[in-house]
Amino acid sequence: MDTARDGGSWLCHNFHRMYQHLLYAAQDSVATITVNRPSVRNALNRATVKELAAAFEQAKADPAIRVAILTGSGDKAFAAGADISEIAELDEVSGAEFSRQGQAVFDSIEALGKPVIAAVNGYALGGGCELAMACTVRIAAENAVFGQPEVKLGLIPGYGGTQRLPRLIGRSRALQLLLTGETIPAYDALMLGLVDSVVPLESLLSKAQGLAQQIAANAPVAVNLCMQAVSLGRHSDEAELFGKVCGTEDMREGTKAFLEKRTAQFKGR
């Protein structure tokens, strides 16, 4: 089996569907995707991860959607981790396949082409922390708790945690969390740079929605190319992308509106 391709097959183009483990809502250019398994603290079993792939493909394919918000149902957990009963049955071959499948989905979220805001409401542990890190921006409620406790179970992170955590908070601090399995509260995560802001739980979604609307008001092509430039991380790529955006209708409209002292009307072209 081509496990990388099998992982990619989860990225299905099923845009108009009901989800068993998620809630999907779209309003005012923003898609809100909610992991809806509160009885198990929104744990990420295979079926839920597969549905996340479909939901984000739905948001990507919808031209009306400019930003996505990802959160968890209830007030206890964003996603408390992977389904340990599934992991306990893995062997060396199936474990690698399991990891590649999840990585493909989380990579697709990171590379969506539209900003994804994680609104972290409670526990974000293991796979849940990895899911939050795959998002563009992370806003945490005051009750949020983060960590990669896999070593306590004889495991390591499998959905990108060993790669994204060092990029966000630095190698040494990431290794301390990874090797101890320690969990940290929201304000410690803010201090480390793992999250971008901390707000009261009751303000979490309104804060995320406000940020989403602020981003959605900007030129979609420029937002997309700005994200690409940051990901590529080279001056030469930035210059090429800057040139590309200079050829868009939105750039003409944005600069003209500025000079005419009016609000720009962006079309995403």
Burial code (b: 16+ CB inside 10 Å, e: under 16) for 220-234 equals bbbbbbbbbbeeeee
Instruction: From the candidates 92, 150, 182, 202, give the one annotated as an active-site residue.
Output: 150
Question: What is the pLDDT at residue 252?
Answer: 82
Give per-residue pLDDT as tens, 100-159. 999 999 999 999 999 999 999 999 999 999 999 999 999 999 999 999 999 999 999 999
Type of residue at 143: N
Question: What is the pLDDT at residue 7?
Answer: 40
- What is the layout of strands, in order, in the sheet containing 116-120? 22-27, 30-35, 67-72, 116-120, 137-141, 197-199
Closest CA to 179 of 166, 197, 167: 166
What number of H helices and E strands is found in the chain? 12, 10
Q: Are strands 183-185 and 145-147 parallel, antiparallel or unpaired?
A: antiparallel
Compare 255 and 141 and report the one with higher pLDDT. 141
| Average pLDDT of the chain to the nearest whole number | 89
Answer yes or no: is pLDDT of 5 > 60.
no
Residues 6+ away with beta carbon under 8 Å from 261: none
Closest CA to 138 of 162, 161, 116: 116
For residues 56 and 68, the answer to whether their CB atoms sit within 8 Å is yes
- Which contiguous run of DSSP H or E holds residue 180? helix 171-180
Compare 56 and 98 and report the one with higher pLDDT. 56
Structure tokens at 226: 């700005």
Closest CA to 45 of 164, 159, 205: 159
Tell me what percent of the residues of the chain surpass a pLDDT of 90: 69
Highest mean pLDDT among 8-22, 77-91, 171-185: 171-185
Question: What is the pLDDT at residue 91?
Answer: 86
Helix residue ranges per DSSP H, 27-160: 46-61, 84-87, 92-110, 127-133
Question: What is the pLDDT at residue 85?
Answer: 85
- pTM > 0.95: no
Q: Which residue ranges make up each domain of the chain?
A: 3-216, 220-259
The correct CATH number of 3-216 out of 3.10.180.10, 1.10.10.10, 3.40.50.450, 3.90.226.10 is: 3.90.226.10
Does residue 97 carry a catalytic annotation?
no
Does residue 150 carry a catalytic annotation?
yes
Compare 259 and 124 and report the one with higher pLDDT. 124
Instruction: From the candidates 86, 89, 130, 260, give the one annotated as an active-site residue.
Output: 130
